[in-house]
Structure 1
């Protein structure tokens, strides 16, 4: 009798386990379907986490606000509270949920002063990240005088240091807060992210993390000093968003090409330049800038031929860059999504596809 009861008990447990397993498999399939849907959404999102005083307003207006109606996408400004650019973990989760669920605003171009957010840590593929950097000392100098004299974009607005006419040289001589070398530490944290070490001034791990994110997470990072070239590449790599961006930018007047241009700047002395550039903060920020410059030049040379035209290699390289930026998501993209990419580059893309229809690695 005992054995019979035990057998019955085992049978019930087995049946119960079968139903539990079935339930989990069913839910797993639903989760996979959900993930595919989210991957399709995220591939229609560009996130430009713009860095202050790098020419980001000019770039945003030239390639986003002026072209969104024509090219059929939405522009959404991310306004961080109290000028903080790094989100905490709760805000990151909430932001990702909002971005990935706002289907009525897709395709979307998000922009704002916000540090890099790794969507993959929350189970989502990353959006298409782009950005632009500026020579660090020039960026600091521009920001210093911007706080005092404003720019040509919002002329009537009184800035926080409007009553302070102290030159950058004078500030350095008295070791003022606004001109200290630690104020250079900004572009590295923007690419590093929201980890505590990212904001630790002079942290080597922050620099290396920023470099790795640029290589692995960003489709393209350009230079303020080569904004026109950056726009040309974006137009070729992501034509759904940036078709017509280059001729539009070239047709703009100098005032619109240089929006938020600081109204007054006093050239610093050689002694000031030497002091700032000898600091550890400058050397590390400059290392990041040089790294981006090297990557961008390599990108440019692979994309453009000697006549300034798009090279055949560019189309292969574009796929390589997109795959690198979205990593796992590429291999899990739906056939519909891949077809959209192929349709974007109809003829030249075929040079990147072998006889079996597989993408060349």
Structure 2
């Protein structure tokens, strides 16, 4: 019998903040030879390790604030009708400190994940190397988003989430501060005010954080796809890219959410069109929050702070377009 558990999710809103055709122009994206070509027979990109995979285990590693609330709801609802996978939302997931040793990782995987197969794990887990633990690698999936838009979404989500309000002990005044206001406080208190965009960002990186609670802006994607559960000295852009190429069955992007769903149900075993059908019934149910965008200058500073995120995001986007083409899925123009 299929066990379908609905659980905690956030109310992300799937929204395009910028015309997609402008992205490559703004960021001067170039194709690189490191982005794999397509293997049409296997539906995977060349470089992906298809052998020694546990197809009874799908892990949605769930990078926060990239449409995850919508996708979790779709996966949870689909499991009502599918006979192939159990689903369960895991929150909170173990902290990096809790899973530092191989023994602690083995205990967590063997007791909390493997017994539930056939199973779709949903939760903020980041990459965890199952091969290191003596198991087959699961089918990893995730979704990413333009880094600045992700941070804007995350900032305003924390201002309405009871969990984060309590965790940060936010006063009403602090909850009502705009992201722009927090950036101005941070830049002013650090003495980085009055410099060029790049110089301001470089200055902020070298100073102790001063500003609104829990709002230091740093790149997250390299850590996420390197894996939180390794020594921090081993985390790098290259490690993240290698994990993505070898172990991620598919990584979608929020800006092309419908195409992401079509790709997931095409490449993952035992699905047909359930994801896209369910999306049509859930797409208008999420509730967005009032977001006041930072000024153009502050957005430019944030982009400089997130330069590593943008490098990895561009890498993932290039792979996404190649994979979509490989799966014969048309891109919808917005």
Answer yes or no: same fold by TM over 0.5: yes
1:69: Cα distance to partner?
Answer: 2.4
CA distance in 1, matches of 2:111, 2:94: 21
Structure 2 residue runs without a partner (length 5+): 1-51, 187-209
Deviations 1:141-193 (A, max 9, x none): 1111111134xxx89x8784362122111111111445898533222211111
**What is the aligned length?**
251
CA offset digits 1:17-76 (Å, max 9, x no partner): xxxxxxxxxxxxxxxxxxxxxx78x320101111111111110111x1111121112112
**TM-score, normalised with respect to structure 2:** 0.67
Equivalent residue number for residue 220 of structure 2:
186
Residue 74 (structure 2) pairs with residue 50 (structure 1): no
Name the residue aligned to 2:86: 74
In the TM superposition, 1:126-141 aligns within 5 A as: 126-141=137-152
Task: Determine whether 1:171 maps to 2:172.
Answer: no
Question: Which stretches in structure 1 are left out of the alignment for 5+ residues?
Answer: 1-38, 309-361
- Please give the per-residue CA displacement for 1:66-104, whole angstroms capped at 9, x wherever unaligned: 1112111211222236866973223311122125651xx
Which residue of the other structure, out of 287, 309, 316, is the alignment partner of 2:311?
287
- Select between 188-197 and 74-83 the one with higher mean Cα deviation: 74-83
SS of equivalent residue, structure 2 residue 88 = strand
What CA RMSD, in Å, does the superposition of the two structures yield over aligned residues?
2.9
Residues 140 and 184 of structure 1 are in contact (CA less than 8 Å); yes or no, is this contact kept in structure 2?
no
Contact 1:141 1:168 in 2 (8 A): yes
Question: What is the match of residue 112 of structure 1?
Answer: 123
User: TM-score scaled to structure 1, two decimals?
Assistant: 0.62
Provide the rounded CA distance (Å) in 1 between the counterparts of 2:128 and 2:304.
Answer: 31
Take 1:144 and 1:253, find their aligned partners in 2: how far apart are those partners? 22
Query: Which of residues 228, 233, 241 is equivalent to 2:263?
Result: 233
Structure 1 counterpart of 2:196: none
Distance 2:215 2:166 in 1: 25
Determine which structure has the larger helix proportion and give its number. Answer: 1
CA distance in 1, matches of 2:99, 2:320: 28
Residues 1-361 of structure 1: pairs in structure 2 closer than 5 A = 42-62=54-74, 64-72=75-83, 73-80=85-92, 87-89=99-101, 90-98=103-111, 101-102=114-115, 105-150=116-161, 160=168, 161=170, 163=172, 164=174, 165-175=176-186, 176-178=210-212, 182-193=216-227, 194-197=229-232, 206-241=236-271, 243-255=273-285, 259=286, 261-279=287-305, 282-304=306-328
CA distance in 2, matches of 1:305, 1:49: 24
